[in-house]
Amino acid sequence: MSAVSTDVSDGRRGRMVSGRTGGGFVGAFTSEWTKLWTIRTPYVCLLVGLIVTAIFTFYYGSIARINDKPIQPVGNASVSSVILTQFALVILAMTMVTSEYSTSSMRTSLLWVPVRPRVQLAKALLSALVGFVTAVGWAVLGIALAWGPFQGHASFELSKVVYQTVAMGVYSALVCVMTVGVSFALRTAAGSVAMIFFVVSALPSMLVGLGGPVLLAINEYMPQTVGGYFMLGDGKAPFPDAVSLLILLVWAVIAHLAGLFVLRRRDA
């Protein structure tokens, strides 16, 4: 009788333990969420982006009025500010990865979540979520602040405003995913920021500066260039907005796969 009771008790304990063996992807995601907001860097990045958006969009509207530029969608001010504010999100996304490598806490993360792709995917999706929501907020703020200085040199069409606001969020989310992938591949803050800055900003400037049909054609497919076409949505891109979005997705996927490749080979 006692043996039967022991077996039943052991079975119950086994089921209880197996029920607490992990939280799956949801557990990994919530863990990353907690870790992100326990460090100071994200708050600084969000504040800096907010300030830059406010200054840049107000200045953009003022310059458009002073130079008597043709009427344009008011959302162009917010879209133009992304060239600067995107790097606040780059640093935020990069910190999610490199801060753990610099303190060796990545070993603990991989012990708790031994499925390597799950760790990277959780960080990528969290960075995308934060990037999207933040960029949408910045877009709304920029539109509100730029409307006054424009003084008649901007149009407000609700469908256009909604499109540019959402597109700004999508672009920023994909840049964050790219950053997480590059950060897993390089594992250092300096290297990751330098690589993202080179690919997103420096290289397109070099291609345009050097000129020539081949280099200019290559520039059309760079993340910041194609992202600008996608966010503006003015029909002046060499391909439809859906194709622009697809190109951005390809960049994000390539970076993500590169980071996963290194993570699987080198671990922590």
Domain residues for 100? 24-266
Residue 38 in domain = yes
Q: How far apart are CA 116 and CA 122, in angstroms?
A: 10
Q: Is residue 209 situated within a structural domain?
A: yes
In a domain, 77, yes or no: yes
Question: Residue 15 domain-assigned?
Answer: no
Give the number of domains in the chain.
Answer: 1
pLDDT, tens only, 8-60: 344 444 444 344 445 789 989 999 999 999 999 999 999 999 999 999 999 99
Rg for the chain, CA atoms, rounded = 23
4 domain-assigned: no
Q: Report the alpha-carbon distance of residue 111 to residue 180 in Å, rounded.
A: 20
- What's the rounded Cα separation, in Å, for the pair 100 and 226? 32
- Domain membership flag for residue 10: no
Tens-level pLDDT at each residue, the chain (268 residues): 444 444 334 444 444 434 444 578 998 999 999 999 999 999 999 999 999 999 999 999 999 999 998 999 999 999 999 999 999 999 999 999 999 999 889 988 888 888 889 999 999 999 999 999 999 999 999 999 999 999 989 999 999 999 999 999 999 999 999 999 999 999 999 999 999 999 999 999 999 999 899 999 999 999 999 999 999 998 888 999 999 999 999 999 999 999 999 998 886 6
Look at residue 2 and tell me if it is in a domain.
no
List the end-to-end C-alpha distance of the chain, in Å, as a whole number: 50
Q: Is this model's pTM higher than 0.85 or not?
A: yes
Q: Answer yes or no: is 13 within a domain.
A: no
- Beta carbons within 8 Å of 22's beta carbon, 6+ residues apart: 113
CA 36 to CA 264: how far, in whole Å? 23
Q: Is 39 helix (H, G, I), strand (E, B) or coil?
A: coil
